[in-house]
Amino acid sequence: MNLQLEVSKKVRKNFQKRYESLPESLIKPKMVYINICINGTIIRAFVDTGASISIMCRSMALICGIDDLIDCRCVGKAIGIGKKDITGTIHYVDVQFGNSLCSCTFSILDESDILLIIGMDILRRYNAILDFSKNELRIGGEIIKFID
Active-site residue set: 48
**CATH code assigned to 31-145:** 2.40.70.10
Q: Write down the pLDDT at residue 3.
A: 67
How many CA atoms within 13 Å lie on the side-chain side of 34? 27
Q: Write down the pLDDT at residue 77.
A: 80
Q: Where are the beta strands (DSSP E) in the chain?
A: 32-38, 41-47, 55-57, 76-80, 82-97, 100-109, 116-118, 129-131, 136-139, 142-145
Task: Look up the pTM and report it.
Answer: 0.83
The full DSSP string for 15-45 is: HHHHHHH-GGGGSPPPPEEEEEEETTEEEEE
Domain boundaries, the chain: 1-26, 31-145
Tens of pLDDT, residues 19-59:
888 888 888 888 999 999 999 999 999 999 999 999 999 99
Q: In the chain, which residues have pLDDT < 50? A: none
β-pairing, 55-57 vs 100-109, is: parallel
- CB distance 54 to 43 below 8 Å: no
Q: Write down the pLDDT at residue 1.
A: 55
As a whole number of angstroms, the distance between CA 22 and CA 36 comes to: 33
